[in-house]
Amino acid sequence: MSDEKEQAGLFETIDAEKVKELYFNEELIQPNYELFRLNTPKGRIYFRPLDENAKTFAYYGGTGNLTSEIPKDDNLIEWMAHKGVTEAKRYYYLRMLFGSLEHTLLAELCIMGEIDLDSLPARLRNYFFTQSFYCTEKELSDLATEAQKDVIGMMQWMIDHKAKLAFVELPVYSDGEGLATQIDIGAFIEIEVGSGKNYKIEQCFALINYKSGKGGFFKEHRFQLEVERRIFIDCYPEFTEQDIRIFNLSGTNWRSTEWNRKTRPYKFSEQTDKADIDRYNHYLELGKITRDERLAKPLNLIQGKVGVGITPASCVVSKTLKEVVEEGIWKRFVKTSAAIPDSLLV
């Protein structure tokens, strides 16, 4: 049995994709680069061609390379122990898929200006089916209601803060940080500064990380946003003329529609300057080490044809992720899964 486990570990499933924004306002921002991503069970590697013939590449870790270096919160460890590893991983993946769907809904809200809440339960059911992820009927029902309430919360957030969206799911990279990612939301917004009756309204450019969960915001979320802020500025230095601030946004399990300044159907928390920069720099260096190790580690791929007169073992080749990119092998693993139907993007 141990030999079988060891042999299974020699092979790794990967897929590749061109990283594209879900939405951008061309009057506010103009992406002019291409970014690609390899998804593997152990994390993501981003890359972009440095010449027209795509012979040389720059490589980047994902923000997970940094946040994975942060010690796990004790509450998370206790939750995983209570749920069990298998169930905890399943729930994590379910929430990850649900979060991707909600980002798509936000982009659709920007493009179309509306979302049919009545159709959401059927859309959600079909979404999980196409993702080959089994959900119970109760899960589908609960998630459908959650999605409907979150869309209402998103719309109310846009109204309350007079949001003018620049982009949704914008791919960005930084040669200095050695990282790349997609930023959930960029928008010009109005925010309240101060407390009680002594508050005032200010405008800023907000970089927002949207969380589909309802468990609150944690320390690693501050580091994640600090990464995104730095990468965004490296990609778009012209925005340094703006007052750039970073926020977490999520829906809430609201029950009443009597909303005011204190009770709203969403949580919106500013995280500007809240990350410990000394720790950030250490986590960043550790993340770069993880990225380089990942790029250099060999993995086995199955390719070619097997048949009479062909040695079966010749169909197994050992390649590093860097070789997968530089030799063009990655193109075999490209899968397209447009989150928004092409008809909406015309």
More confident residue, 307 or 118: 118
CA end-to-end span of the chain: 54
98 pLDDT more than 50: yes
State the Cα–Cα distance between residues 211 and 214, nearest whole angstrom. Answer: 8
261 pLDDT more than 80: no
* Residue 341 confidence (pLDDT): 39
State the Cα–Cα distance between residues 100 and 111, nearest whole angstrom. Answer: 17
CB 199 within 8 A of CB 205: no
User: What are φ and ψ of residue 107, in 5° steps?
Assistant: -60, -40
How many domains does the chain contain in total? 1
16 pLDDT more than 80: yes
301 pLDDT more than 60: yes
3 pLDDT more than 50: no
Residue 216 — very low, low, confident or very high, per pLDDT cuts 50/70/90? Answer: low
* Residue 215 confidence (pLDDT): 65
CB 60 within 8 A of CB 47: yes
Query: Tell me: the pLDDT tens digits for 240-257?
Result: 889 999 999 998 999 888
* Residue 73 confidence (pLDDT): 72
* Residue 198 confidence (pLDDT): 78
Query: Average pLDDT over the chain, rounded to whole?
Result: 86
**How would you label 297-316 residue by residue, b for 16+ Cβ within 10 Å and e otherwise?**
eebebeeeeeeeeeeeeeee
300 pLDDT more than 90: no
Residue 302 — very low, low, confident or very high, per pLDDT cuts 50/70/90? Answer: confident
Alpha helices in 236-311, H assignment, sequence order? 277-296
* Residue 345 confidence (pLDDT): 34
* Residue 59 confidence (pLDDT): 95
Averaged pLDDT for residues 64-85: 78
* Residue 340 confidence (pLDDT): 38
Averaged pLDDT for residues 22-47: 88
Mapping DSSP onto H, E and C, the string for 284-298 reads HHHHHHHHHHHHHCE
CB 286 within 8 A of CB 69: yes
* Residue 44 confidence (pLDDT): 86
* Residue 339 confidence (pLDDT): 40
User: What are φ and ψ of residue 322, in 5° steps?
Assistant: -65, -40
Query: Tell me: the pLDDT tens digits for 169-203?
Result: 999 999 999 999 999 999 999 998 877 677 888 99
* Residue 167 confidence (pLDDT): 93
Which positions ≥6 away from 230 have C-beta within 8 Å?
174, 176, 177
Which residue segment(s) compose the domain that 134 sits in? Answer: 2-345
109 pLDDT more than 90: no
* Residue 309 confidence (pLDDT): 78
State the pairing for strand pair 57-62/179-193.
parallel
